[in-house]
Amino acid sequence: MTDISNFRHSLRTPLNHIVGYSEMLMEDATEQHRPGIADALREIHQAAQELLQSIQKNLTPAQESVEAESLETLQREAAGPIHRILSCTSHLIDKEGFAVPDMLRIRGAAGVLRAYLESARTSQVAAPEPREDGPPPNAAHLLVVDDDESNRDLLSRQLNRQGYSVDTAASGPEALRLLAHTRFDLVLLDIVMPGMDGFQVLAEIKTDPRRRGVPVIVISALDGMQSVARCIEMGADDFISKPFDRVILKARIGALLRRCEAEREVAHLADRLRLLLESTGEGIFGIDRDGRCTFINAAAVKMLGYSREDLLGQPIHGLVHYRRRDGSAFPESECPMLRAARNGEASRVVDEVFIDVEGRQLPVEYSANPILGDDKIEGAVIMFSDISERQRTEEK
């Protein structure tokens, strides 16, 4: 059974992130007179409070461990609020483009919360094993590679009982042929095989651009540290010695598949974020704690007149923010962008100038928000708009 204090801590940490960021962003949306966005953030905050109440009700400090009944109730009650949080964050990111870095943090925290609950359901609480009448339709597809027929049969049957779809290969060449034409979510690979051994198969998988992303768990009676180290150095994701414990194998497979799914989700979110950055008309760039540009979108490049290569890795203040409107120097110590990156001070500036590549003043309105990671400030995101037209209208 799961230790109650550790499990409560694992759930409350991402939940605290959701509550904290949603409260902060509600204040921003209210100040910016964006009632629709404020309402969506209140929905996120309310859902987080419902999750907190469910955790407090089902995982009380008086319990010594997480009981299956309490966990099932918590999972059932948490499904709706987590779905609402993910739905609202997707709307605010995709439709509104509001506070994208912080919204991604909220969505990531909700995903972590859901993963913790699913992990507890699958690996911590005992449940009846599925019958051997076939895997569920959405089961992960695994490939077992072993020259011993009994090993293949035993392992594939165990994996079938756990709900996985399994193919087998009796040799290295057969495994590579299957990998060339079939999509597998994970490979379980024996090392000692006649002809092409497991080391050679692993090398072929990890050097082929089409297959290198497939995770590999090596299962072998070779349990010496040299064998383990060699497999890991060649790109294996895990190593389990024979004879293996079925529960340990199940946990390792589940953890690796969840990690790969999380990595795919992160890559997908990164692609969507890049698309969003490049499709917006506002200039957006990021800086690290030293003020060096870490990313910049097409709109910012166009407005400033620099090439992307001219800006990436360069101190942005010294290139575009070194002078005030009256021509006087703008010290780094007073720069709101650098204060956000170094001190975590978020700010919104409504009337300032950037300097373009020709040395001309570009009137801008911008916001600077810190980037937080692992409880420390990693830099800042700056979003700006050209307000030249607005100023000309106001001057008439």
Domain at 305, CATH number: 3.30.450.20
Residues 27 and 75 in one domain: yes
**97 within a domain of the structure (yes/no):** yes
Please check whether residues 223 and 310 belong to one and the same domain: no
AA letter at 143: L
Assign 315 a pLDDT band (cuts: 50, 70, 90): very high
Burial class (CB in 10 A: 0-12, 13-18, 19+), 20: middle
| Residue 113 and residue 166 in one domain | no
Report the candidate in 320, 332, 333, 298 with the shortest Cα–Cα distance to residue 366.
Answer: 320
pLDDT at 123: 41
Percent above pLDDT 90 for the chain:
44
Quick one: 316 and 377 in the same domain?
yes
pLDDT band with cut points at 50, 70 and 90 for residue 278: confident
378 in the same domain as 292: yes
Q: Could you tell me if residue 265 is inside a domain?
A: no
Q: Which pLDDT score is estimated for 204?
A: 94
Mean pLDDT across 382-396: 86
Final residue in a domain of this structure, among 70, 95, 127: 127
Residues 180 and 284 in one domain: no
pLDDT value of position 155: 84
In a domain, 320, yes or no: yes
Question: The CATH number of the domain where 172 resides is what?
Answer: 3.40.50.2300
Among 21-25, 106-110, 251-255, 277-281, name the one with the lowest average pLDDT. 277-281
Q: Identify whether 291 is part of a domain.
A: yes
Residues 146 and 247 in one domain: yes
Rounded Cα distance, 259 and 256, in Å:
5
Q: Are residues 224 and 110 in the same domain?
A: no
Q: Supply the DSSP string of 292-342, one letter for each residue.
A: BEEEE-HHHHHHH---HHHHBTSBHHHHHSSB-TTS-B--GGG-HHHHHHH
User: Where is average pLDDT lowest: 140-154, 168-182, 194-208, 219-233?
Assistant: 219-233
Does 345 fall in a domain? yes
Which domain-ending residue is among 127, 158, 181?
Answer: 127
Q: What would the mean pLDDT of 74-97 be, rounded to a whole number?
A: 88
Is the pLDDT at 266 greater than 80? The verdict is: no
Query: Across the chain, what does the average pLDDT equal?
Result: 84
Shared-domain flag, residues 121 and 8: yes
Q: Residues 68, 126: contact at Cβ < 8 Å?
A: yes
pLDDT interval class at 131 (50, 70, 90): very low
Q: For 193-209, b where at least 16 C-beta lie within 10 A, e where not — what string? A: beebbbbbbbebbeeee
Out of 259, 294, 319, a domain closes at 259
What confidence score (pLDDT) does residue 224 get?
A: 61
Domain membership of residue 114 as a residue range: 4-127
For residue 246, report the phi and psi dihedrals to the nearest 5 degrees. Answer: -60, -40
- Same domain (yes/no): 119, 177: no
Q: Are 221 and 182 in contact (CB under 8 A)?
A: no
Per the domain annotation, does 135 fall within a domain?
no
CATH number at residue 106: 1.20.1440.210
Q: What is the mean pLDDT of residues 352-362?
A: 95
Please check whether residue 134 lies inside any domain of the structure.
Answer: no
Query: In the prediction, which pLDDT does 62 show?
Result: 64
Mean pLDDT for 377-387 is 92
Q: Are 288 and 238 members of one domain? A: no
Q: pLDDT of 38-73, one tens digit each?
A: 999 999 999 999 998 898 888 776 666 667 788 888
Q: What are phi and psi of 217, to 5 degrees?
A: -110, 120
> CA 18, CA 25: separation in Å to the nearest integer?
11
Per the structure, how many domains does the chain have? 3
Whether residues 353 and 325 fall in one domain: yes
Range ranked top by mean pLDDT from 239-253, 276-290, 339-353: 339-353
200 belongs to a structural domain? yes
Over residues 327-349, mean pLDDT = 93
